[in-house]
Amino acid sequence: MGFTRCRLNPDFMKSLFATFLAFTLAAALTTVSTAALAQTPQPPEIAARQYILMDLSSMQVLAEREADAQADPASLTKLMTAYLVFNALRDKKLTLEQTLPVSQRAWAQRKGGGSLMFIDTTMQPTVAELLRGLIVQSGNDAAVALAEGVGGTVENFVTAMNRQAQAWGLKNTQFKNPEGLSEAGHYSSARDVALVGARIVLDHPEHYALYSIRQYTYNNIKQDNRNMLLGRDPAVDGMKTGYTEAAGYCLVSSAVRDTPAGKRRLVSVVMGTNSRDARAAESQKLLNWGWSAWDAVRLFEAGKPMATVPVWKGDKAEARLGASGGLIVTVPKGEGDKLKTTIQRTDPLLAPLTVGQAVGQVNVTTAGGAVLTSRPLVVLEPVGLAGIFGRAWDAIRLWIQ
């Protein structure tokens, strides 16, 4: 692996990172192009209208078809519903032990013909119970009860769902309800759904285990998780099924394995398959291909510097720079030793510097120079201002340069 450095004008860097915003996941989900890799593995034939496979460890999309096409997401909608409930728990607006009332609107979901937790207006389920009803049983009634518990009304909650989608830059998603029943103007895409699932994994790992529960009993009614891969593939530990007549059979699958580069997680989304068996089989195909045709390569460890560079006007002479969380890339089998890393950074680098501050960009390229992935170059350790004499001396040195 080669390693070179070039420098960027500081004004250019300011404008670049004003829009870049410290490396959002949405910006990271870019497809590995055939131009970037000489021998890009070809995915298997997938019997789904839309699909996508991403490696969450490297933030790379490995395969896709019609991944930005707007489609009925069915109960995949409940990923965003759960995410907002997890946010409310994090922000102490709810607790898992807290009980919520069951409104007539939640109870009336049984008339809609979809999946149910089977709650009624005489019950006071806890948030923990409703989350299991939402995630394991895919209960539309649980979705409405939680939406009302977080937002006060379903309408307020749906507004929050759309606000979150916009904040993430989801261009092909609009919600009309929290449960996923077909409705005019309610749509998403395979790429957007994958991003919501990835956000749950990354932002709320303490709740992610709910997606691996294979059955749940409430009110003496036992229901199985409809994600058939939970019982077939030991690597699969989530996430969500969906079905409506318009959507077909849909499945988001998340799987993790230990690799030489550390834990590696793949997320696949298939939408518009023709049966429960088909959505499981096509998801399994994608995951198996992701494991067998691609390698994750760790280029730099988390917290380890890629470069140590001079700092002007600082209480330290040098700054340690690297990629937040380390740097992993996913490449076709056998291509890992052909990569080249290039650093672009501001020069001169002026104190003060804070941890996580973006001061450049790291590009990983093939031997031929095609960019495989890019990440912000960030400060790993803070650098404070030097004293007045140190700053004055550096100002003179900079002026002389």
Q: Return the active site residues.
A: 75, 78, 138
> Hey, how many other C-beta atoms are within 10 angstroms of the C-beta on 36?
19
Q: CA 66, 69, 71, 73 torsion: positive or negative? A: positive
Q: Dump strand ranges (E) for 245-394.
A: 248-259, 262-273, 294-300, 307-310, 318-322, 327-332, 340-346, 358-365, 371-379
Identify whether 101 is preceded by a cis peptide bond (ω within 30 of 0). no
Decide: 252 and 239 in contact? Cβ < 8 Å: yes
| Encoded amino acid at 401, one letter | Q
Q: How far apart are alpha carbons 377 and 305 in whole angstroms? A: 10
* Burial class of residue 266 (count of CB atoms within 10 Å of its CB; 0-12, 13-18, 19+): buried
| Encoded amino acid at 186, one letter | H
Tokens of 366: 């093939």
H or E element in which residue 57 lies: none
